[in-house]
Amino acid sequence: DVVMTQSPLSLPVTLGQPASISCRSSQSLVYSDGNTYLNWFQQRPGQSPRRLIYKVSNRDSGVPDRFSGSGSGTDFTLKISRVEAEDVGVYYCMQGTRSVTFGGGTKVEIK
Amino acid sequence: QVTLKESGPTLVKPTQTLTLTCTFSGFSFSTSGVGVGWIRQPPGKALEWLALIYWDDDKWYSPSLKSRLTITKDTSKNQVVLTMTNMDPVDTATYYCARTYYRNQFQYWGQGTLVTVSS
């Protein structure tokens, strides 16, 4: 099984400042078709998860461009260029290359 | 517009079997690549993937729960049913269904349904 490890567990951020979340997989996420199926989700308090990023770096429709994804192989990062109040919530990475596995989540809160 | 909605019991007793239904609109299993998955989230905890079913009836299961899960689809009704046997209080969670397209997983989610396991 692929294990997804996120860090940090909690991320206090000042409004307007950048934030970065790390996600590491226990195995390479490069699939046989050449794609890397690594997604990022945002879950605001009391809401269903919302996908932000798919295949490492592709933003879903309607996602603000302050969110960006990067990485390759086993190391991936979600960055928020300038945190806004509406970004508070828990962020999850998820791999879909070898079955499906979610990371443990990173809670983003405002300082 | 893609929508998904979960339905089922809010309370089940330990050892009982849970049956949840995901009813969706805006897409169809008649389309190649379409799939629907189930994900759960215990209160205050992380997301956990459970199962996936694709348009061609290919089925994927979480290895840790495979022996307890069955996923099926009804193409004519636009529904996916998940059954989980031998329920335990640790299975108390909000259960979500979400749409997948090939390996482009979980772009759309339902609102979730809270299932409590208690005697």
What's the pLDDT tens digit per position in B9-22?
999 999 999 999 99
Residues in CB range of B47: below 8 A, 6 or more apart: A41, A43, A49, A92, A94, A102, A105, B39, B40, B41
CB contact under 8 A, B60 and A99: yes
**CB contact at 8 A, A101 and A4:** yes
Q: Give the mean model confidence (pLDDT) for residues A13-27.
A: 98
What's the pLDDT tens digit per position in A49-89?
999 999 999 999 999 999 999 999 999 999 999 999 999 99
**CB contact at 8 A, B86 and A30:** no
CB contact under 8 A, A100 and B52: yes
Q: Give the mean model confidence (pLDDT) for residues B75-89.
A: 97
The strands making up B18-25's β-sheet, listed across from edge to edge, are B3-7, B18-25, B79-84, B69-74
A59 touches chain B (CB under 8 A): no
Q: Give the mean model confidence (pLDDT) for residues A10-38.
A: 97
The more confidently predicted of residues B24 and B105 is B24
- Residue B103: what pLDDT? 85
Distance in Å, alpha carbon of A58 to nearest chain B alpha carbon: 11
**Residues of chain B with C-beta less than 8 angstroms from the C-beta of A54:** 104-105, 107
Q: Which amino acid is at B74?
A: D
What is the DSSP-derived secondary structure letter of residue B17? P
